[in-house]
Amino acid sequence: MFANPTLREHVRATAENRPGVYRMFGPGEELLYVGKSIRLRTRVLSYFRAPRGEKAWDLIRETARIEWDYVPNEFYALIREMKLIQELQPRFNVRHRRKRIYAFVKVTAEAAPRVLPVTRVAADGATYYGPFPRVKRLAHIVRELAQVLGLRDCPGTTPVFFDDQLEMFGSGQVPSCVRADLRTCLAPCCGRPRAAEYEAAVERARRFLEGRAEAPLRDLETLMQRASDEMNYEYAAVLRDRIDRLRGFRDELVAFRGRMEDLSFVYRVPGFAGDDRIYLIRRGRIRRELRHPKGRSGRARVARAIDEVFGETDLGPGALAPQEAAEILLVARWFRLKPKERRRTVEPDAWLQERRPA
């Protein structure tokens, strides 16, 4: 079976060598593949020259129709390709096709909040930190953090009450799990802590997740020293390893927070045939795309957009959908692999000071 010569001639006659995103469809209108290129015509025609046995050879021989959209630049082509692949799941795509699972740390909005590793965010009043790509590692570390601080990890349906509520609920109950017996949980299931005591532990967790507190590490260091003084060296070694993991996680959180804050700027990208664009990026997400202004009214339009995007309240990670998490990581990767592109960025306030119409 040979590639459709009519299809090849259609591409040759109508496609242009400019940035774009293309889609290949099978005979039954099944979407087979989504791709991108800064020279779309050359890239699509290369499929017709692919040697037998390569993926491109298999793909073009199943393709009955090709359509494409032009975009202003390579940066937007990358973002557009990722979103289409995640949304439409074409059979021949590998990268981006599977909806990658990202991990978040969730501090629940409950009477006795829990700190949990989750892979989805919801509008449930909880606070989320992330996204992080390593799900299994995060689950292990979050479990250790909960144990160090004495926070519960029982099901959300477990009844909880506090020592200062015993007059309302009666005397304390029998602990519900071994963690309560071992005193690694403050155990609100049996009314052991006061509400303020448990809330203080939750606040230490929040501060730790924001990179603003050392309390869990100091607590572990005290326990490790005590175990060493008592010549319980095996337990001291376990605590030492736990400290190292939590410290590494703390450093990762601080670095991640810094990277997200660092990805907030006005980004000008030269475009095909002078179609320059401005992208307003806040915490790694593209919040607005505008044509580069060429006059007073255009500058005023961009200034209004900057005021709106960077002036609104940032809801943080709790407002992220999985596709938005993927966009953050993709934008971060773009600037990591293309450090010279950072020279095209400017702080929002600096842009307004230099270019806002008088």
123 shares its domain with 203: yes
Residue 253 CA to residue 207 CA, distance in Å, equals: 11
For residue 117, being part of any structural domain is answered with yes
19 shares its domain with 116: no
Q: Give the domain extent around 37.
A: 5-88
Residue 114 CA to residue 155 CA, distance in Å, equals: 9
Question: 75-89, 260-274, 275-289, 324-338 — which is least confidently predicted?
Answer: 324-338
For residue 200, being part of any structural domain is answered with yes
Question: What is the band of 99 on the pLDDT scale with cuts at 50, 70, 90?
Answer: low
Two structure tokens written together for 81: 């390709």
pLDDT of residue 254: 73
Total domain count for the chain? 3
User: Which of 60, 88, 116 is at the close of a domain?
Assistant: 88
For residue 97, being part of any structural domain is answered with no
Under DSSP, is residue 176 helix (H, G, I), strand (E, B) or coil?
coil
Q: What are the start-end ranges of the H helices in 119-214? A: 135-149, 166-169, 178-181, 195-209
Q: Provide the 10 A C-beta neighbour count for residue 104.
A: 24
For residue 160, being part of any structural domain is answered with yes
193-200 long-range CB contacts below 8 Å, 24 or more apart?
Answer: 193/150, 193/162, 193/163, 194/162, 194/163, 194/164, 195/162, 195/164, 195/165, 196/164, 198/112, 198/151, 198/162
Question: 49-58, 80-89, 170-179, 266-275 — which is least confidently predicted?
Answer: 170-179
Given a cut of 50, whether residue 1 has pLDDT beyond it is no
109 shares its domain with 217: yes
SS (H, E, C) 286-337: EEEEEECCCCHHHHHHHHHHHHHHHHCCCCHHHHCCHHHHHHHHHHHHHHHH
For residue 93, being part of any structural domain is answered with no
Question: What is the band of 30 on the pLDDT scale with cuts at 50, 70, 90?
Answer: very high
For residue 336, being part of any structural domain is answered with yes
Residue 196 CA to residue 18 CA, distance in Å, equals: 62
pLDDT of residue 346: 96
157 shares its domain with 284: no
Higher pLDDT, 323 or 110: 110
188 shares its domain with 151: yes
Residue 26 CA to residue 72 CA, distance in Å, equals: 28
217 shares its domain with 276: no
Given a cut of 90, whether residue 8 has pLDDT beyond it is yes
User: Which of 260, 281, 299 is at the close of a domain?
Assistant: 260
Task: Average the pLDDT over 123-149 and give the result.
Answer: 82
Closest CA to 103 of 322, 352, 262: 322
53-57 long-range CB contacts below 8 Å, 24 or more apart?
Answer: 55/92
pLDDT of residue 3: 61
Phi and psi at residue 33, to the nearest 5°: -160, 145
Residue 77 CA to residue 231 CA, distance in Å, equals: 61
148 shares its domain with 162: yes
- Residue the block writes with tokens 């700027």: 265
Task: Average the pLDDT over 151-159 and give the result.
Answer: 90
List, for residues 183-211, the tens digit of each pLDDT value: 788 889 888 889 999 999 899 888 888 77
Please give the share of the chain, as a percent, with pLDDT higher than 90: 47
pLDDT of residue 43: 97
Q: Cα dist. 211→238, 242, 246, 337 in Å?
A: 23, 17, 11, 26
129 shares its domain with 57: no
Under DSSP, is residue 123 helix (H, G, I), strand (E, B) or coil?
coil
251 shares its domain with 217: yes
40 shares its domain with 67: yes
**62-66, 255-259, 324-328, range with greatest mean pLDDT:** 62-66
127 shares its domain with 41: no
Task: Average the pLDDT over 302-330 and give the result.
Answer: 80
Task: Average the pLDDT over 80-97 and give the result.
Answer: 84
**Average pLDDT along the chain:** 86
Task: Average the pLDDT over 109-118 and give the result.
Answer: 93
Residue 154 CA to residue 189 CA, distance in Å, equals: 9
For residue 246, being part of any structural domain is answered with yes
User: Which of 244, 260, 276 is at the close of a domain?
Assistant: 260
DSSP 88: H
CATH of the domain at 20: 3.40.1440.10
295 shares its domain with 314: yes
For residue 312, being part of any structural domain is answered with yes
Closest CA to 115 of 54, 37, 185: 185
